């Protein structure tokens, strides 16, 4: 008597009752090996990277890269990238800047006590005044530098460059210079030309772009 393979319906019934271990060797066929078999060789990525780093270190390449990076970093610190879009003032311009802000969220102390409620408008000048004027100038323009040094002192003004090297200026003038990194301050005040002076006028700040006669017609920043 020849055995027939169980029907699909029969298999479904067996599976429904948990009888799933059905040995059915007659349905399995060994096709043998088809074609050539090759071993999978996958190099360790970390090992490869480590080997390359060792080779670069042995050849002095890493030391050269570190030296170049240090050199470029030092140069960038001593002479930051110029603020884009700032030119030399060729006509006087003046306006006011209101530093008042609106508090977005309640401000509380460590105990949860409300200090400043959300929505309140605060003017920083009511608490802390601007004791020193902010003078923005192009450090690569000798006329602007000379004007700033002659018209201000260390006590009444802070000199802020939008181009040039603050370190070179400090060394030459024996006075502290700053730099408007990324044009954050000039952008906030709306300054488009230098020299420019920011000073307090009551509860607002007065911003003035000044024309230096000897610098007239020169481009402050290309």
For 21-35, 60-74, 199-213, which range has the lowest pLDDT when averaged over its residues?
A: 21-35
Q: What average pLDDT does the segment 45-68 reach? A: 78
- All structural domains of the chain with their residue ranges: 45-78, 87-99+125-215
pLDDT tens track for 70-103:
666 666 667 899 999 999 999 999 999 999 999 9
Comparing 119 with 24, the larger pLDDT belongs to: 119
Element (H, E) at 194: strand 193-194
What pLDDT does 14 receive? Answer: 45
- The pLDDT of 119-129, averaged and rounded, is 93
* Backbone CA torsion sign across 122, 126, 128, 134: positive
**Which of 88, 71, 85, 81 is closest to 166 using CA atoms?**
81
Reply yes or no on whether the pLDDT at 1 is more than 60: no
Q: How far is CA 219 from CA 71, 159, 163, 216, in A?
A: 29, 19, 12, 9
For 179-189, write each residue's pLDDT tens digit: 999 999 999 99
């Amino acid at each position: 008597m020849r055995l027939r393979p169980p029907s699909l319906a029969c298999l479904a019934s067996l599976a429904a009752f948990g009888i799933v271990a059905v040995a059915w060797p007659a349905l399995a066929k060994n096709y043998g090996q088809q074609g050539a078999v090759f071993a999978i060789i996958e190099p360790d990525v970390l090992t490869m990277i480590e080997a390359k780093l060792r080779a670069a270190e042995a050849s002095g390449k890493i030391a050269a890269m570190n030296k170049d990076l240090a050199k470029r970093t030092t140069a960038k610190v001593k002479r930051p990238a110029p603020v884009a879009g700032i030119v030399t003032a060729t006509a006087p311009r003046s306006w006011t800047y209101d530093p008042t802000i609106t508090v977005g969220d309640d401000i509380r102390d460590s105990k949860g006590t409300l200090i400043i409620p959300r929505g309140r408008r605060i003017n920083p000048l009511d608490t802390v005044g601007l004791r020193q004027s902010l003078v923005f100038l192009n450090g690569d323009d000798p006329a602007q530098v000379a004007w700033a040094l002659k018209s201000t002192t260390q006590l009444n003004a802070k000199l802020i460059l939008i181009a040039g090297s603050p370190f070179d200026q400090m060394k030459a003038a024996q006075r502290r210079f700053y730099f408007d990194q990324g044009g954050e301050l000039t952008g906030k005040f709306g300054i488009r030309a230098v020299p420019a002076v920011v000073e307090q006028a009551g509860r607002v700040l007065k911003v003035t772009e000044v024309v230096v006669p000897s610098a007239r017609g020169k481009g402050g920043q290309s």
